[in-house]
Structure 1
Protein backbone atom coordinates (compact mmCIF):
# COMPACT_ATOMS: atom_id res chain seq x y z
CA UNK A 1 0.00 0.00 0.00
CA UNK A 2 1.23 3.48 -0.87
CA UNK A 3 1.50 5.32 2.44
CA UNK A 4 0.42 8.52 0.71
CA UNK A 5 -2.90 6.88 -0.16
CA UNK A 6 -3.60 6.34 3.54
CA UNK A 7 -6.63 8.56 4.23
CA UNK A 8 -5.21 10.69 7.10
CA UNK A 9 -1.92 11.29 5.25
CA UNK A 10 -3.71 12.05 1.98
CA UNK A 11 -5.96 14.52 3.81
CA UNK A 12 -2.95 16.28 5.36
CA UNK A 13 -1.23 16.47 1.96
CA UNK A 14 -4.34 17.99 0.39
CA UNK A 15 -4.54 20.51 3.24
CA UNK A 16 -0.84 21.40 2.87
CA UNK A 17 -1.27 21.77 -0.89
CA UNK A 18 -4.24 24.10 -0.42
CA UNK A 19 -2.31 26.25 2.04
CA UNK A 20 0.79 26.30 -0.17
CA UNK A 21 -1.20 27.30 -3.24
CA UNK A 22 -2.91 30.08 -1.31
CA UNK A 23 0.41 31.39 0.01
CA UNK A 24 2.04 31.20 -3.42
CA UNK A 25 -0.81 33.16 -5.05
CA UNK A 26 -0.70 35.68 -2.18
CA UNK A 27 3.04 36.21 -2.60
CA UNK A 28 3.11 36.23 -6.40
CA UNK A 29 2.66 40.02 -6.79
CA UNK A 30 5.63 40.57 -4.46
CA UNK A 31 7.96 37.62 -5.08
CA UNK A 32 7.11 36.86 -8.70
CA UNK A 33 8.59 33.57 -9.88
CA UNK A 34 10.03 32.85 -6.44
CA UNK A 35 6.58 32.91 -4.80
CA UNK A 36 6.30 29.11 -4.67
CA UNK A 37 9.69 28.74 -2.99
CA UNK A 38 8.85 31.48 -0.49
CA UNK A 39 5.50 29.78 0.12
CA UNK A 40 7.39 26.58 0.96
CA UNK A 41 9.40 28.51 3.54
CA UNK A 42 6.27 30.05 5.06
CA UNK A 43 4.47 26.69 5.08
CA UNK A 44 7.41 25.15 6.90
CA UNK A 45 7.31 27.93 9.48
CA UNK A 46 3.57 27.34 9.96
CA UNK A 47 4.13 23.61 10.46
CA UNK A 48 6.97 24.18 12.91
CA UNK A 49 4.88 26.71 14.82
CA UNK A 50 2.09 24.13 15.15
CA UNK A 51 4.65 21.64 16.48
CA UNK A 52 6.00 23.97 19.20
CA UNK A 53 4.25 21.85 21.91
CA UNK A 54 6.25 18.87 20.64
CA UNK A 55 9.48 20.83 21.06
CA UNK A 56 8.36 21.87 24.54
CA UNK A 57 7.80 18.21 25.52
CA UNK A 58 11.22 17.19 24.19
CA UNK A 59 13.04 20.00 26.02
CA UNK A 60 11.20 19.15 29.25
CA UNK A 61 12.09 15.46 28.87
CA UNK A 62 15.76 16.29 28.31
CA UNK A 63 15.77 18.71 31.22
CA UNK A 64 14.21 16.10 33.52
CA UNK A 65 16.78 13.49 32.56
CA UNK A 66 19.63 15.95 33.12
CA UNK A 67 18.14 16.95 36.47
CA UNK A 68 18.25 13.41 37.87
CA UNK A 69 21.53 12.47 36.16
CA UNK A 70 23.67 13.11 39.30
CA UNK A 71 21.35 10.92 41.37
CA UNK A 72 21.52 8.16 38.76
CA UNK A 73 25.30 8.38 38.72
CA UNK A 74 25.38 8.10 42.51
CA UNK A 75 23.13 5.04 42.43
CA UNK A 76 25.31 3.42 39.77
CA UNK A 77 28.42 4.07 41.85
CA UNK A 78 26.85 2.84 45.07
CA UNK A 79 25.18 -0.30 43.74
CA UNK A 80 27.38 -1.21 40.76
CA UNK A 81 28.06 -4.64 42.29
CA UNK A 82 24.39 -5.19 43.10
CA UNK A 83 22.54 -5.05 39.78
CA UNK A 84 19.20 -6.14 41.25
CA UNK A 85 19.29 -3.38 43.85
CA UNK A 86 20.48 -0.84 41.27
CA UNK A 87 17.61 -1.76 38.97
CA UNK A 88 15.06 -1.34 41.76
CA UNK A 89 16.56 1.92 43.06
CA UNK A 90 16.71 3.34 39.54
CA UNK A 91 13.05 2.63 38.89
CA UNK A 92 12.15 4.07 42.29
CA UNK A 93 14.05 7.26 41.42
CA UNK A 94 12.23 7.65 38.12
CA UNK A 95 8.89 7.12 39.89
CA UNK A 96 9.77 9.51 42.73
CA UNK A 97 10.88 12.27 40.34
CA UNK A 98 8.01 11.51 37.93
CA UNK A 99 10.40 11.14 35.03
CA UNK A 100 10.07 8.58 32.27
CA UNK A 101 13.21 7.36 30.45
CA UNK A 102 11.10 7.24 27.31
CA UNK A 103 9.75 10.77 27.71
CA UNK A 104 10.21 12.83 24.56
CA UNK A 105 9.97 9.84 22.23
CA UNK A 106 6.18 9.85 21.88
CA UNK A 107 6.08 13.53 20.82
CA UNK A 108 8.53 12.68 18.02
CA UNK A 109 6.25 9.89 16.83
CA UNK A 110 3.24 12.20 17.09
CA UNK A 111 4.73 14.64 14.58
CA UNK A 112 5.67 11.94 12.07
CA UNK A 113 2.37 12.02 10.10
CA UNK A 114 2.61 15.80 9.72
CA UNK A 115 6.21 15.70 8.53
CA UNK A 116 5.41 12.80 6.19
CA UNK A 117 2.55 14.77 4.67
CA UNK A 118 4.69 17.86 4.13
CA UNK A 119 7.43 15.77 2.52
CA UNK A 120 4.89 14.00 0.30
CA UNK A 121 3.78 17.38 -0.95
CA UNK A 122 7.24 17.81 -2.48
CA UNK A 123 7.56 14.43 -4.21
CA UNK A 124 4.12 13.35 -5.44
CA UNK A 125 3.48 13.99 -9.16
CA UNK A 126 -0.27 14.31 -8.53
CA UNK A 127 -2.30 15.48 -5.55
CA UNK A 128 -5.97 14.62 -5.26
CA UNK A 129 -5.94 13.49 -8.90
CA UNK A 130 -4.54 16.76 -10.23
CA UNK A 131 -0.95 17.52 -11.34
CA UNK A 132 1.26 18.82 -8.54
CA UNK A 133 2.01 22.32 -9.80
CA UNK A 134 4.64 22.74 -7.09
CA UNK A 135 6.99 20.47 -9.02
CA UNK A 136 6.88 22.76 -12.07
CA UNK A 137 7.89 25.89 -10.16
CA UNK A 138 11.47 27.14 -9.92
CA UNK A 139 13.66 29.18 -7.61
CA UNK A 140 17.13 30.47 -8.55
CA UNK A 141 16.48 28.71 -11.85
CA UNK A 142 16.20 25.36 -10.03
CA UNK A 143 13.01 23.28 -10.46
CA UNK A 144 11.47 22.74 -7.02
CA UNK A 145 10.81 19.13 -7.94
CA UNK A 146 14.41 18.32 -8.92
CA UNK A 147 17.09 17.06 -6.55
CA UNK A 148 20.77 17.99 -6.69
CA UNK A 149 21.78 14.38 -7.26
CA UNK A 150 19.26 13.99 -10.10
CA UNK A 151 20.55 17.17 -11.73
CA UNK A 152 24.10 15.83 -11.57
CA UNK A 153 23.13 12.41 -12.92
CA UNK A 154 21.25 13.93 -15.86
CA UNK A 155 23.90 16.54 -16.59
CA UNK A 156 21.43 19.39 -16.06
CA UNK A 157 23.25 20.89 -13.07
CA UNK A 158 24.37 24.49 -13.49
CA UNK A 159 26.90 26.56 -11.61
CA UNK A 160 24.09 28.47 -9.90
CA UNK A 161 22.17 25.35 -8.86
CA UNK A 162 25.35 23.70 -7.59
CA UNK A 163 26.25 26.75 -5.49
CA UNK A 164 22.72 27.05 -4.06
CA UNK A 165 22.54 23.36 -3.11
CA UNK A 166 26.02 23.37 -1.59
CA UNK A 167 25.22 26.50 0.44
CA UNK A 168 22.01 24.89 1.75
CA UNK A 169 23.85 21.71 2.72
CA UNK A 170 26.64 23.71 4.37
CA UNK A 171 24.18 25.78 6.41
CA UNK A 172 22.38 22.63 7.56
CA UNK A 173 25.72 21.11 8.61
CA UNK A 174 26.76 24.26 10.50
CA UNK A 175 23.41 24.43 12.28
CA UNK A 176 23.79 20.75 13.13
CA UNK A 177 27.17 21.40 14.72
CA UNK A 178 25.78 24.27 16.78
CA UNK A 179 22.87 22.05 17.81
CA UNK A 180 25.20 19.31 19.05
CA UNK A 181 27.41 21.75 20.97
CA UNK A 182 24.69 23.86 22.51
CA UNK A 183 21.84 21.43 23.02
CA UNK A 184 23.25 17.95 23.57
CA UNK A 185 23.97 17.19 27.25
CA UNK A 186 27.42 15.87 28.19
CA UNK A 187 27.60 12.09 27.86
CA UNK A 188 27.97 10.50 31.29
CA UNK A 189 30.67 7.87 31.86
CA UNK A 190 29.63 4.51 30.45
CA UNK A 191 28.17 2.28 33.11
CA UNK A 192 27.57 -1.41 32.95
CA UNK A 193 23.93 -2.05 32.18
CA UNK A 194 22.45 -3.89 35.17
CA UNK A 195 20.43 -7.05 34.82
CA UNK A 196 16.80 -6.62 35.82
CA UNK A 197 15.78 -7.86 39.23
CA UNK A 198 13.45 -10.87 39.26
CA UNK A 199 9.94 -9.82 38.28
CA UNK A 200 11.00 -6.33 37.21
CA UNK A 201 11.26 -4.99 33.63
CA UNK A 202 14.60 -4.04 32.12
CA UNK A 203 15.23 -0.30 32.12
CA UNK A 204 15.68 0.91 28.52
CA UNK A 205 19.20 1.99 27.59
CA UNK A 206 18.85 5.29 25.72
CA UNK A 207 22.60 6.00 25.44
CA UNK A 208 23.07 4.55 21.97
CA UNK A 209 19.80 6.06 20.75
CA UNK A 210 20.90 9.49 21.99
CA UNK A 211 24.26 9.17 20.22
CA UNK A 212 22.61 8.18 16.94
CA UNK A 213 20.06 11.00 17.17
CA UNK A 214 22.83 13.52 17.82
CA UNK A 215 24.21 12.82 14.33
CA UNK A 216 20.85 12.96 12.56
CA UNK A 217 21.16 16.68 11.68
CA UNK A 218 24.38 15.89 9.77
CA UNK A 219 22.51 13.17 7.88
CA UNK A 220 19.93 15.83 7.03
CA UNK A 221 22.62 17.74 5.14
CA UNK A 222 23.27 14.65 3.01
CA UNK A 223 19.57 13.94 2.54
CA UNK A 224 19.13 17.49 1.23
CA UNK A 225 21.12 16.50 -1.85
CA UNK A 226 18.80 13.59 -2.67
CA UNK A 227 15.37 15.15 -2.14
CA UNK A 228 13.57 17.67 -4.38
CA UNK A 229 14.79 21.25 -4.02
CA UNK A 230 11.54 22.24 -2.31
CA UNK A 231 12.17 19.55 0.30
CA UNK A 232 15.74 20.80 0.74
CA UNK A 233 14.34 24.26 1.50
CA UNK A 234 11.96 22.64 3.98
CA UNK A 235 14.87 20.85 5.69
CA UNK A 236 16.91 24.06 5.84
CA UNK A 237 14.13 26.02 7.51
CA UNK A 238 13.28 23.09 9.81
CA UNK A 239 16.77 22.61 11.26
CA UNK A 240 17.27 26.36 11.65
CA UNK A 241 13.89 26.79 13.33
CA UNK A 242 14.52 23.80 15.60
CA UNK A 243 17.81 25.22 16.85
CA UNK A 244 16.29 28.62 17.60
CA UNK A 245 13.20 27.06 19.17
CA UNK A 246 15.19 24.81 21.48
CA UNK A 247 17.47 27.64 22.60
CA UNK A 248 14.45 29.82 23.42
CA UNK A 249 12.54 26.99 25.15
CA UNK A 250 15.58 26.01 27.20
CA UNK A 251 15.99 29.62 28.35
CA UNK A 252 12.29 30.03 29.14
CA UNK A 253 12.10 26.66 30.93
CA UNK A 254 15.35 27.23 32.85
CA UNK A 255 17.11 24.34 31.13
CA UNK A 256 20.25 26.22 30.07
CA UNK A 257 22.49 24.94 32.84
CA UNK A 258 24.35 21.62 32.45
CA UNK A 259 21.95 19.93 34.84
CA UNK A 260 18.79 21.31 33.35
CA UNK A 261 18.46 24.45 35.44
CA UNK A 262 18.06 22.62 38.78
CA UNK A 263 21.65 21.69 39.40
CA UNK A 264 22.71 24.12 42.05
CA UNK A 265 21.31 26.35 44.68
CA UNK A 266 20.60 29.61 42.92
CA UNK A 267 22.86 28.81 39.96
CA UNK A 268 22.40 31.27 37.12
CA UNK A 269 21.57 29.71 33.74
CA UNK A 270 24.26 30.01 31.07
CA UNK A 271 23.86 32.69 28.46
CA UNK A 272 25.63 30.68 25.78
Structure 2
Protein backbone atom coordinates (compact mmCIF):
# COMPACT_ATOMS: atom_id res chain seq x y z
CA UNK A 1 0.00 0.00 0.00
CA UNK A 2 1.39 3.40 -1.01
CA UNK A 3 1.51 6.42 1.28
CA UNK A 4 -1.25 8.08 -0.74
CA UNK A 5 -3.57 5.09 -0.67
CA UNK A 6 -2.92 4.62 3.04
CA UNK A 7 -3.77 8.22 3.78
CA UNK A 8 -6.84 8.00 1.54
CA UNK A 9 -8.02 5.05 3.62
CA UNK A 10 -7.54 7.05 6.81
CA UNK A 11 -9.53 9.98 5.41
CA UNK A 12 -12.26 7.59 4.27
CA UNK A 13 -12.44 5.93 7.68
CA UNK A 14 -12.45 9.30 9.47
CA UNK A 15 -15.27 10.36 7.16
CA UNK A 16 -17.26 7.28 8.20
CA UNK A 17 -16.78 8.23 11.87
CA UNK A 18 -18.13 11.71 11.21
CA UNK A 19 -21.04 10.51 9.07
CA UNK A 20 -23.58 10.30 11.95
CA UNK A 21 -23.07 14.02 12.59
CA UNK A 22 -22.30 15.47 9.15
CA UNK A 23 -24.15 12.96 6.97
CA UNK A 24 -23.19 13.39 3.30
CA UNK A 25 -20.73 16.17 4.11
CA UNK A 26 -18.66 13.96 6.40
CA UNK A 27 -15.65 13.83 4.04
CA UNK A 28 -15.70 17.61 3.68
CA UNK A 29 -15.81 17.89 7.48
CA UNK A 30 -12.85 15.50 7.71
CA UNK A 31 -10.85 17.76 5.37
CA UNK A 32 -11.71 20.85 7.41
CA UNK A 33 -10.67 19.12 10.65
CA UNK A 34 -7.48 17.85 8.99
CA UNK A 35 -6.65 21.39 7.90
CA UNK A 36 -7.26 22.73 11.40
CA UNK A 37 -4.98 20.03 12.82
CA UNK A 38 -2.21 21.06 10.41
CA UNK A 39 -2.63 24.74 11.30
CA UNK A 40 -2.63 23.91 15.01
CA UNK A 41 0.60 21.95 14.54
CA UNK A 42 2.36 24.93 12.92
CA UNK A 43 0.81 27.50 15.27
CA UNK A 44 3.93 27.63 17.50
CA UNK A 45 5.91 28.68 14.42
CA UNK A 46 3.32 31.37 13.67
CA UNK A 47 3.72 32.69 17.22
CA UNK A 48 7.50 32.70 16.78
CA UNK A 49 7.10 34.55 13.47
CA UNK A 50 4.93 37.17 15.18
CA UNK A 51 7.55 37.68 17.88
CA UNK A 52 10.23 37.98 15.21
CA UNK A 53 8.20 40.53 13.25
CA UNK A 54 7.72 42.67 16.35
CA UNK A 55 11.46 42.50 16.99
CA UNK A 56 12.24 43.44 13.38
CA UNK A 57 9.95 46.47 13.65
CA UNK A 58 11.97 47.72 16.60
CA UNK A 59 15.06 47.45 14.39
CA UNK A 60 13.54 49.62 11.64
CA UNK A 61 15.57 52.75 12.58
CA UNK A 62 18.81 50.74 12.66
CA UNK A 63 18.01 49.11 9.31
CA UNK A 64 17.31 52.53 7.82
CA UNK A 65 20.68 53.70 9.11
CA UNK A 66 22.41 50.70 7.53
CA UNK A 67 20.77 51.56 4.21
CA UNK A 68 22.00 55.12 4.52
CA UNK A 69 25.56 53.96 5.19
CA UNK A 70 25.78 51.01 2.77
CA UNK A 71 23.09 51.81 0.20
CA UNK A 72 25.65 51.87 -2.61
CA UNK A 73 27.17 48.55 -1.60
CA UNK A 74 24.46 45.82 -1.67
CA UNK A 75 26.80 43.06 -0.48
CA UNK A 76 27.94 45.05 2.53
CA UNK A 77 24.34 46.07 3.28
CA UNK A 78 23.20 42.46 3.19
CA UNK A 79 26.05 41.34 5.44
CA UNK A 80 25.39 44.11 7.95
CA UNK A 81 21.66 43.35 7.96
CA UNK A 82 22.25 39.65 8.59
CA UNK A 83 24.69 40.47 11.39
CA UNK A 84 22.12 42.76 13.01
CA UNK A 85 19.46 40.05 12.79
CA UNK A 86 21.87 37.48 14.26
CA UNK A 87 22.80 39.82 17.08
CA UNK A 88 19.14 40.31 17.99
CA UNK A 89 18.33 36.60 17.60
CA UNK A 90 15.97 37.11 14.66
CA UNK A 91 15.61 34.65 11.79
CA UNK A 92 14.67 36.30 8.47
CA UNK A 93 13.01 33.02 7.41
CA UNK A 94 10.81 32.63 10.49
CA UNK A 95 7.84 34.29 8.85
CA UNK A 96 7.98 31.91 5.87
CA UNK A 97 8.13 28.63 7.78
CA UNK A 98 4.40 28.31 8.65
CA UNK A 99 3.44 28.67 4.98
CA UNK A 100 6.21 26.41 3.70
CA UNK A 101 5.36 23.61 6.12
CA UNK A 102 1.74 23.64 4.96
CA UNK A 103 2.61 23.04 1.32
CA UNK A 104 3.06 19.24 1.68
CA UNK A 105 -0.40 18.96 3.29
CA UNK A 106 -1.98 21.01 0.50
CA UNK A 107 -0.31 18.99 -2.26
CA UNK A 108 -1.30 15.77 -0.51
CA UNK A 109 -4.93 16.86 -0.55
CA UNK A 110 -4.58 17.97 -4.17
CA UNK A 111 -3.14 14.62 -5.24
CA UNK A 112 -5.65 12.52 -3.31
CA UNK A 113 -8.61 14.17 -5.01
CA UNK A 114 -7.03 14.48 -8.46
CA UNK A 115 -6.13 10.81 -8.94
CA UNK A 116 -8.63 8.24 -10.20
CA UNK A 117 -6.45 5.45 -8.82
CA UNK A 118 -4.29 5.16 -5.70
CA UNK A 119 -1.94 2.22 -5.30
CA UNK A 120 -3.44 0.51 -8.33
CA UNK A 121 -6.95 0.59 -6.92
CA UNK A 122 -9.93 2.86 -7.47
CA UNK A 123 -9.72 6.03 -5.39
CA UNK A 124 -12.38 5.68 -2.64
CA UNK A 125 -12.43 9.43 -1.97
CA UNK A 126 -13.83 10.50 -5.33
CA UNK A 127 -17.31 9.34 -4.40
CA UNK A 128 -17.60 11.93 -1.64
CA UNK A 129 -19.38 15.23 -2.16
CA UNK A 130 -20.18 18.52 -0.48
CA UNK A 131 -23.80 19.14 -1.28
CA UNK A 132 -24.11 18.48 -5.00
CA UNK A 133 -20.42 19.17 -5.69
CA UNK A 134 -17.96 16.22 -5.93
CA UNK A 135 -14.87 16.78 -3.79
CA UNK A 136 -12.74 15.76 -6.77
CA UNK A 137 -14.47 18.20 -9.12
CA UNK A 138 -13.49 21.71 -10.08
CA UNK A 139 -15.34 24.97 -10.63
CA UNK A 140 -15.53 24.47 -14.39
CA UNK A 141 -17.19 21.10 -13.75
CA UNK A 142 -19.81 22.83 -11.61
CA UNK A 143 -20.46 25.36 -14.37
CA UNK A 144 -20.90 22.55 -16.89
CA UNK A 145 -23.25 20.68 -14.56
CA UNK A 146 -26.09 23.05 -13.74
CA UNK A 147 -24.33 26.38 -14.14
CA UNK A 148 -23.42 28.96 -11.52
CA UNK A 149 -26.73 28.62 -9.68
CA UNK A 150 -26.94 24.84 -9.92
CA UNK A 151 -26.36 22.62 -6.90
CA UNK A 152 -22.59 22.41 -7.34
CA UNK A 153 -22.33 26.04 -8.45
CA UNK A 154 -23.96 27.23 -5.22
CA UNK A 155 -21.30 25.39 -3.19
CA UNK A 156 -18.61 27.36 -5.00
CA UNK A 157 -20.54 30.62 -4.62
CA UNK A 158 -20.58 30.04 -0.86
CA UNK A 159 -16.82 29.42 -0.84
CA UNK A 160 -16.18 32.49 -3.01
CA UNK A 161 -18.32 34.61 -0.67
CA UNK A 162 -16.41 33.38 2.39
CA UNK A 163 -13.01 33.99 0.78
CA UNK A 164 -14.09 37.46 -0.39
CA UNK A 165 -15.30 38.37 3.11
CA UNK A 166 -12.01 37.27 4.69
CA UNK A 167 -9.92 38.96 1.97
CA UNK A 168 -11.88 42.20 2.38
CA UNK A 169 -11.37 42.08 6.15
CA UNK A 170 -7.60 41.56 5.66
CA UNK A 171 -7.42 44.31 3.04
CA UNK A 172 -9.21 46.94 5.13
CA UNK A 173 -7.30 46.09 8.28
CA UNK A 174 -3.95 46.18 6.51
CA UNK A 175 -4.72 49.49 4.78
CA UNK A 176 -5.66 51.03 8.11
CA UNK A 177 -2.49 49.73 9.72
CA UNK A 178 -0.30 50.97 6.88
CA UNK A 179 -1.89 54.42 7.04
CA UNK A 180 -0.80 54.81 10.67
CA UNK A 181 2.60 53.09 10.35
CA UNK A 182 5.67 55.33 10.51
CA UNK A 183 7.68 55.73 7.34
CA UNK A 184 10.64 53.89 8.85
CA UNK A 185 8.67 50.67 8.83
CA UNK A 186 8.18 50.80 5.08
CA UNK A 187 11.65 52.07 4.22
CA UNK A 188 13.71 49.42 5.99
CA UNK A 189 14.47 47.75 2.67
CA UNK A 190 14.53 48.88 -0.96
CA UNK A 191 11.16 48.54 -2.62
CA UNK A 192 9.36 47.70 0.63
CA UNK A 193 6.95 50.59 0.30
CA UNK A 194 5.83 49.52 -3.18
CA UNK A 195 5.52 45.88 -2.09
CA UNK A 196 3.36 46.79 0.89
CA UNK A 197 0.96 48.59 -1.43
CA UNK A 198 0.43 45.40 -3.42
CA UNK A 199 0.43 42.86 -0.59
CA UNK A 200 -3.05 43.70 0.79
CA UNK A 201 -4.51 42.60 -2.55
CA UNK A 202 -2.85 39.18 -2.43
CA UNK A 203 -5.62 37.76 -0.23
CA UNK A 204 -7.97 38.00 -3.19
CA UNK A 205 -5.72 35.62 -5.17
CA UNK A 206 -7.21 32.84 -3.05
CA UNK A 207 -10.33 33.17 -5.21
CA UNK A 208 -8.32 32.01 -8.23
CA UNK A 209 -6.91 29.05 -6.31
CA UNK A 210 -10.37 27.95 -5.17
CA UNK A 211 -11.59 28.12 -8.77
CA UNK A 212 -8.89 25.90 -10.30
CA UNK A 213 -8.07 23.18 -7.76
CA UNK A 214 -10.23 20.18 -6.79
CA UNK A 215 -12.96 21.09 -4.32
CA UNK A 216 -11.24 19.13 -1.53
CA UNK A 217 -8.06 21.19 -1.98
CA UNK A 218 -10.21 24.33 -2.18
CA UNK A 219 -11.70 23.44 1.21
CA UNK A 220 -8.18 23.13 2.58
CA UNK A 221 -7.27 26.56 1.20
CA UNK A 222 -10.44 28.26 2.45
CA UNK A 223 -10.16 26.75 5.94
CA UNK A 224 -6.49 27.73 6.14
CA UNK A 225 -7.29 31.25 4.92
CA UNK A 226 -9.94 31.75 7.61
CA UNK A 227 -7.56 30.35 10.23
CA UNK A 228 -4.80 32.72 9.08
CA UNK A 229 -7.05 35.76 9.35
CA UNK A 230 -8.15 34.84 12.87
CA UNK A 231 -4.61 33.88 13.92
CA UNK A 232 -3.11 37.11 12.61
CA UNK A 233 -5.79 39.15 14.35
CA UNK A 234 -5.06 37.61 17.75
CA UNK A 235 -1.27 37.40 17.40
CA UNK A 236 -0.93 41.04 16.32
CA UNK A 237 -3.84 42.61 18.19
CA UNK A 238 -1.53 44.36 20.69
CA UNK A 239 1.25 45.14 18.21
CA UNK A 240 2.02 48.69 17.07
CA UNK A 241 0.86 49.72 13.57
CA UNK A 242 4.39 49.46 12.17
CA UNK A 243 4.56 45.77 13.07
CA UNK A 244 1.16 45.05 11.58
CA UNK A 245 1.91 46.82 8.31
CA UNK A 246 5.21 45.01 7.90
CA UNK A 247 3.59 41.64 8.64
CA UNK A 248 1.22 41.71 5.64
Query: Which TM-score band applies after superposition, normalised by the shorter structure?
Result: 0.7 to 0.9
Please tell me whether Structure 1 or Structure 2 has the larger radius of gyration of its CA atoms: 1
- Aligned length, in residue pairs: 236
SS at match of 1:98: coil
Matches within 5 A, 1:87-236: 87=77, 89-152=80-143, 154-157=144-147, 158-182=149-173, 186=178, 188-189=185-186, 193=190, 214-236=200-222
SS at match of 1:53: helix
CA gap 1:166/1:190 in 2 versus in 1, 3 angstroms: same
* Residue in structure 2 matching 1:45, options 36, 50, 67: 36
Match of 2:235 in 1: 249
Query: Contact between 2:138 and 2:214, CA under 8 Å: does it hold in 1?
Result: yes
Unaligned regions of 5+ residues in structure 2, if any? none
Unaligned regions of 5+ residues in structure 1, if any? 1-6, 194-204, 262-272
CA gap 1:49/1:106 in 2 versus in 1, 3 angstroms: closer
SS at match of 1:169: helix
Could you report, residue by residue, the CA deviation over 1:25-72 in whole angstroms, capped at 9, with x for unpaired residues? 112122222222222222222222222233234323333322312322
CA distance in 2, matches of 1:150, 1:74: 55
CA distance in 1, matches of 2:174, 2:6: 33
CA distance in 1, matches of 2:189, 2:38: 41
CA distance in 1, matches of 2:37, 2:12: 14
CA gap 1:29/1:126 in 2 versus in 1, 3 angstroms: same
| Greater percentage in helix | 2
Please give the TM-score of this superposition, normalised by the length of structure 2: 0.76
Please give the TM-score of this superposition, normalised by the length of structure 1: 0.70
CA distance in 2, matches of 1:69, 1:250: 17
